[in-house]
A and B are shown apart, each in its own frame.
Chain A
């Protein structure tokens, strides 16, 4: 059990800087998810924590100890890889036991530890199988087992669910979360899937181009995004962005609608509204346009509305009686659910 602290972490390959000073503190027992588009530096950060990549600048501190120059095995971490990295020629037992190779435990203690882990992961009866006799989810559990058996201070997960099909991914997501609640270790989890991040994390770290965009609980990053990137990255479908003008506490949309909004912004602003908050029934009118496409999801239907100058906007309509394609609709939202951004810097205006 330990805290993990990153201070001004920098990584350069040749002369290209890919991480530009990442600072973050992960509390003991916290489940932190790094999320971002590919190439944002999230995996590099994780591999630096693991000791698989050299640190160019800054420090990594695990349990109060700077580990920059320690070998991976001495850092008190364990890692689960995207392709699981379980050895095809070894049985499950040997694969999990591999993590205990260098542990200073008696043979009987190792065996006991292995059985414990197998029991927690519910795969005692799979111990003598070879990996090719296992399903994708079971392989995933072997990989987790091999990490768990070492009882590390920090667990590192590098996109461990991306090789699984959608249904299994949802199931493993839940299992990993339950596992965390049971064993309580610190976890750093990397993914490009914002749903995974939202559902699993205690705190989410959103990254882009080697910078942290925002750190916060799932609720914080969803409801008070720090900038346009976070606002559009978290939540599906993405937040709609409408051009607007603000002056003296009033926001005036290009479509002519005026909404009273507290906040000191003046001049051009970007008004963000989530499709979930944008409907055809309640709230103040924001924009109007013609329905171009409908996507029925069952309980609700997503409608794509061409608003002319404002571009295409996604809104939510009732699942049973959605407006017809071609129908003229007025889209409304509760002013409390609107977000304002500076169009130049992308930062949220509050």
Chain B
């Protein structure tokens, strides 16, 4: 039977044969749990007992939960601070690193190292940096120049930026590499032509480099946004005695989901939060792609 197929049909048969494994994998490992989570969000379940139908109860509860709104706001603060800050810093570093020849490889390695480091280990080291005198590095430095102590992780206003800082730092290496690849792809002659035309570096940056980097920027914005919306390990490890504290000041949505599911064992409620996170991620990504897309 196989013999009688045309070349095109044979290709299709083989393509599906090879695709079958990932399709099966995605079906079982990704799509089935996703569907199940959506289903559970309409049920009450304590992980061991029987499930009972709850309708929209979980969503109504979510809507009326002040903690959820606090957490929702935190998540967007992580996104709105983290993405632009890391974008600007990584571009500035990549832009200058690209023009540097001396120790180029070594410096690039230094910037990439945090990306390869375990988030847990890094969070604990940074947590130690933030301690008061005499343990904490930052407060020791401040004390040595005569500036008062700053409570980084115990203040409701400072804690979120303090947790965000290592998360931004950890992602820089990857973004720098992507930016540098984007910068390398711009033909040298564009810059040479601009040099002959005599325009300044600011014009070159704004009218040549950045517009030509747009696809790179879109990629980095979308990826880092997804990363910041899903922030968890840095927060969890830097605030272990009171996850997401103080007073939920640092708690992101993923941590709330984790808490609800594995501390409160309210799987239905946690699933409802997951669905909300999913919708948020989808909306933000689609919006960014739409706004930044080439006309």
Hey, which bits of chain A sit against chain B, CB under 8 A? 50-52, 71-74, 77-79, 81-83, 85, 87-90, 98-99, 101-102, 146, 150
16 pairs from A and B in contact (CB 8 Å cutoff): A52-B195, A71-B195, A72-B195, A74-B198, A81-B189, A81-B192, A85-B189, A85-B192, A87-B190, A87-B211, A87-B212, A89-B212, A101-B198, A102-B199, A146-B193, A150-B197
A146 to B195, CA, bound (A): 13
Given contacts A74-B198, A77-B196, A81-B192, 10 further A-B contacts (CB under 8 A): A51-B195, A52-B192, A52-B195, A72-B196, A79-B192, A85-B192, A101-B203, A102-B197, A102-B198, A146-B193
Identify which of A50, A74, A81 gathers the most chain B CB atoms within 10 Å of its CB: A81
Chain A residues, Cβ within 8 Å of B198: 71-74, 101-102
**Complex Cα spacing A85 to B208, Å:** 11
Check B199–A78 contact: CB distance below 8 A: no
Q: Report the separation of the CA atoms of residues A146 and B196 in the bound assembly, to the nearest whole angstrom.
A: 11
User: Roughly how many angstroms separate A85 CA and B193 CA in the complex, as a whole number?
Assistant: 7
Known: A81-B189, A101-B203. A89 touches B211 (CB 8 A): yes
Q: Give the nearest-CB partner of A79 in chain B.
A: B196
Whether, in the assembled complex, B187 has its beta carbon less than 8 Å from a beta carbon of chain A, the answer is yes
Instruction: Give chain B's interface residues, CB within 8 Å of chain A.
Output: 187, 189-190, 192-199, 203, 207-208, 211-212, 214
List chain B residues, Cβ under 8 A from A89. 211-212, 214
B212–A73 touching, CB < 8 Å? no
A85 to B212, CA, bound (A): 13
Cα separation A156 to B227 with both chains bound (whole Å): 49
Name the CB-closest residue of A to B208: A87
Min CB distance, B195 to chain A, in Å? 5
How many angstroms from the CA of A51 to the CA of B208 in the assembled complex? Answer: 20
Q: Is the CB of A101 within 8 A of B199?
A: yes
Return the chain A residue nearest B192 by Cβ: A52
CB-based contact A79/B199 at 8 Å: no
Give every chain B residue within 8 A of A79 (Cβ-Cβ): 192-193, 196
Most buried by A among B192, B197, B199, B211: B197
Q: Provide the bound-state CA to CA distance between A50 and B193, in Å.
A: 10
Nearest chain-B residue to A98 (Cβ)?
B197
Chain A residues, CB < 8 A from B208: 87
Whole-angstrom distance from the CB of B127 to the nearest CB of chain A?
A: 45
CA distance A99 to B198 in the complex (A): 8
User: Does A85 contact B190, Cβ atoms closer than 8 Å?
Assistant: yes
Tell me if B190 and A78 are in contact (CB < 8 A): no
Instruction: State whether A73 touches B190 (Cβ < 8 A).
Output: no
Q: Are A99 and B212 in contact (CB under 8 A)?
A: no
Could you tell me if A81 and B197 are in contact, using CB atoms closer than 8 angstroms?
no
Contacts A88-B212, A89-B211, A89-B212 given; does A99 touch B197 at CB 8 Å: yes
Chain A residues closer than 8 Å to B199, beta-carbon distance: 98, 101-102
